[in-house]
Amino acid sequence: MKKFYVETWGCQMNELDSQRMTGLMMEQGILPTREVKEADLILLNSCSIREKAAQKAYSRLGEYRLLKKDNPELLIGFCGCVAQQEGEKALKRVPDLDFVMGPARVGELPTIVEQRRRFGKRVVATGFPEASQRQYDFDALAREGTFKGMVTIIEGCNKKCTFCIVPQTRGPEQSRPMDDILAEVQHLVSYGFREIELLGQTVNHWRDPQTDVDFAVLLDRVATMPGVERLRFVTSYPRDFTQDMVDQFGRHANICPYLHLPVQSGSNRILKLMGRGYDVELYYDLVERIRRVRPGIALSTDLIVGFPGETDEDFQATLKLVEDIRYGSFYAFKYSPRPGTAAPRLKVDAVAPEVADRRLQELFALQQSIQSEINRGLVGETFDTLVTNWGKRPGTQTGRTPCHRLIHFPYGDAPFELGSTTQVTVEEGLPHSLVGRPVAA
């Protein structure tokens, strides 16, 4: 076996899992390829958050198995959240599938591949071993890019949101010990990573299993580590966001002025049906306290429209919230019923798909105009910009402002080193990006 190919769907956790799979295979002396036809091993890292993504997984497997005709050596591994849900069923449904591996079992990948290659065994590795039983080797992680290092701090989720499949696919919450986290951050910093992103489905619910200190303490510890230029974290759960955590934004300039804070709906009635455990008043209050310590922070959110029982009035409340909060960016989705979740069994009327579609479009249009306004309002401001890429047009590069906005700029006489930070003044605000000019050029 010489080359492997990884396809990734879904959230940052999946992205990181793919980076781990890549690192683990590379340790075996096998190289990644971007050409699926060259691969002797295909790993499909699937996402089950919405039905469409989950369906896509099986159709991809269908496409991949055809490649076995030309390459009888080819192994196909079904990984990620759909794999976790499907388990044995997947082996029956896809006769030449070679193995199934859930998200909590990524560390076992080399053994699973070996079992198939040497002994012909089609392993199904799903379920959730205790954290201490899991194999996690951050040194064997093929980080993508050289600026942002992602660090998992908490796995799984114990919340009971009625729409969400994550507790089933990623299992119960398990926090990683603080010492392990700090060691991984230190490792990344010493390799020159400028930006650290702490990851978890409910990242701010982290607690040190040994000392019980909370996420505010961890933020403080990571932010004060020499070499951590930018610190960000996803995803925060509104109800778990304490004042101590808010205060960290005031205390550490390297905690980026960007926060993803999913609200899901602007209607208290719907929030209740969703089982979110907070109301819009709590959310508004939290946003206000955050903005008090960090004016100009860019907020983003997730919203679901067409949740069962959502009336026009509920939807209007969501529009109002979006107008009031003025998010810098957002993700909005049409509700999708997921197996094993409580929402499909709620005794309320489903929302007609056309209605949900219309609401989604209306929400996008509103946000688009807000985003354009906000971005136009940034014209004239100068941001420390992390240069991350080459632009599409010759003579240009792109970067990220601390508030995580994409900014395009001409570099002038000589390009900036990728990974360096330079000041860029905004000259134009577009709905989804900024255009600027480096102060130095």
Confirm or reject binding of residue 50 to ligand 5AD (CB under 6 A): yes
Which of 25, 30, 49, 246: binder of ligand 5AD (CB under 6 A)?
49
Pair 152, 188: CB distance under 8 Å: no
DSSP string, 105-126: GGGGHHHHHHHHHHH----EE-
Residue 108 or 314 with smaller CB distance to ligand 5AD: 314
User: With CB under 6 A, what is the number of residues at the site for ligand 5AD?
Assistant: 12
Instruction: Look at residues 128, 184, 178 and name the one whose alpha carbon lies nearest to residue 156.
Output: 128
Which of 48, 169, 264, 265: binder of ligand 5AD (CB under 6 A)?
264
- Report how far Cα 322 is from the mean position of its chain's Cα atoms: 21
The 85-114 site mask, x for binding ligand 5AD (CB under 6 A), equals ------------------------------
SS3 (DSSP) at 298: strand
Which of 302, 323, 357, 362: binder of ligand 5AD (CB under 6 A)?
302
CA–CA separation, 327 vs 404, rounded Å? 13
Residue 9 or 163 with smaller CB distance to ligand 5AD: 163
Pair 115, 124: CB distance under 8 Å: no
Instruction: Look at residues 415, 384, 438 and name the one whose alpha carbon lies nearest to residue 195.
Output: 384
Integer-rounded Cα Rg, in Å, for the chain is 23
Confirm or reject binding of residue 241 to ligand 5AD (CB under 6 A): no
Pair 89, 78: CB distance under 8 Å: no
Residue 32 or 200 with smaller CB distance to ligand 5AD: 200
The 171-210 site mask, x for binding ligand 5AD (CB under 6 A), equals ----------------------------------------
CA–CA separation, 41 vs 354, rounded Å? 41
CA–CA separation, 11 vs 1, rounded Å? 29
Residue 194 or 276 with smaller CB distance to ligand 5AD: 276
CB of 304 to ligand 5AD, least distance (A): 5
Tokens 């036809």 -> residue? 37
CA–CA separation, 322 vs 368, rounded Å? 11
Confirm or reject binding of residue 163 to ligand 5AD (CB under 6 A): yes
Residue 10 or 102 with smaller CB distance to ligand 5AD: 10
Confirm or reject binding of residue 12 to ligand 5AD (CB under 6 A): no
Which of 107, 262, 402, 429: binder of ligand 5AD (CB under 6 A)?
262
The 316-335 site mask, x for binding ligand 5AD (CB under 6 A), equals -----------------x-x
Residue 54 or 378 with smaller CB distance to ligand 5AD: 54
CB atoms within 10 A of CB 119: 8
**Contacting positions for ligand 5AD (CB under 6 A):** 49-50, 163-164, 262, 264, 302, 304, 333, 335-336, 338
